[in-house]
Chain A
Amino acid sequence: EPEVTQTPSHQVTQMGQEVILRCVPISNHLYFYWYRQILGQKVEFLVSFYNNEISEKSEIFDDQFSVERPDGSNFTLKIRSTKLEDSAMYFCASSVGPEMSNQPQHFGDGTRLSIL
């Protein structure tokens, strides 16, 4: 069964550094998403992306964050200047779309980001 793949599985970065998290969505999917989960807390939506544009973003997704689909297969989340509070598990998801109601979002295994 096709999967969403995320790399790396664990990223350790110094505070203030830029970090790029990578995702390869399922090949025929058109909608892409990023979520994060701070340790011990609930999974929170960050951003959704369709047709090379952000469809929706949360309050968490401020100017330090950006997303890009640089080629036909990758979907990336960039954090420009990392803070300690950015430490979390980041999940990428994709779905077929645009008919949303009967198609689930498929989630990757996540990238654990640790900011020192």
Chain B
Amino acid sequence: KQEVTQIPAALSVPEGENLVLNCSFTDSAIYNLQWFRQDPGKGLTSLLLIQSSQREQTSGRLNASLDKSSGRSTLYIAASQPGDSATYLCAVYTSGTYKYIFGTGTRLKVLA
């Protein structure tokens, strides 16, 4: 049964710092992995999707990497800004299923 873990659970950093959010999963047989952003009380905004055959994806200041064999993904945020404050969710689509399994998220606060 796929389990997805995210560490740290919460993170508070000063503006301008580069930071790394971690996601680990127990079953490496995946179709893809997606990183989402969620603002309080709001929906899910897709940030990056990495296919199982890919190593990384980049969008602006965001870079996501995938090491399928070790069951890990990282989301790198460069030059963090207060507007990046949100909860970041990792979701894994396991082969042979029809669903994403979500991690519990990392709650990020970027201080001005």
Q: Is the CB of B34 within 8 A of A91?
A: no
Closest to B54 in A: A102
Q: How far is the CA of A107 from the CA of B91 in the complex (A)?
A: 12
B residues within 8 A CB of A109? 42-43
Question: Which of the residues A50, A101, A104 comes within 8 Å of B34, measured between beta carbons?
Answer: A104
Question: Which of the residues B41, B46, B98, B103 comes within 8 Å of A104, measured between beta carbons?
Answer: B46
Q: Is the CB of A43 within 8 A of B44?
A: yes
B residues within 8 A CB of A110? 42-44
B residues within 8 A CB of A105? 34, 93, 100
**B82-112: which residues lie under 8 A (CB-CB) from chain A?**
89, 91, 93, 97-105
Q: Is the CB of B42 within 8 A of A102?
A: no
Between A and B, 24 residue pairs with Cβ closer than 8 Å are A31-B98, A33-B98, A33-B99, A42-B103, A42-B104, A42-B105, A43-B44, A43-B91, A43-B100, A45-B100, A48-B99, A50-B98, A56-B97, A56-B98, A100-B32, A100-B93, A101-B32, A101-B51, A102-B32, A107-B36, A109-B43, A110-B42, A110-B44, A112-B41
Mark B residues whose CB is within 8 Å of A.
31-32, 34, 36, 41-44, 46, 49, 51-52, 89, 91, 93, 97-105
Given contacts A31-B98, A48-B99, A110-B43, 19 further A-B contacts (CB under 8 A): A35-B102, A42-B105, A43-B44, A43-B102, A45-B99, A45-B100, A45-B101, A56-B97, A56-B99, A100-B31, A100-B98, A101-B31, A101-B52, A104-B34, A104-B46, A105-B93, A107-B36, A109-B42, A110-B42
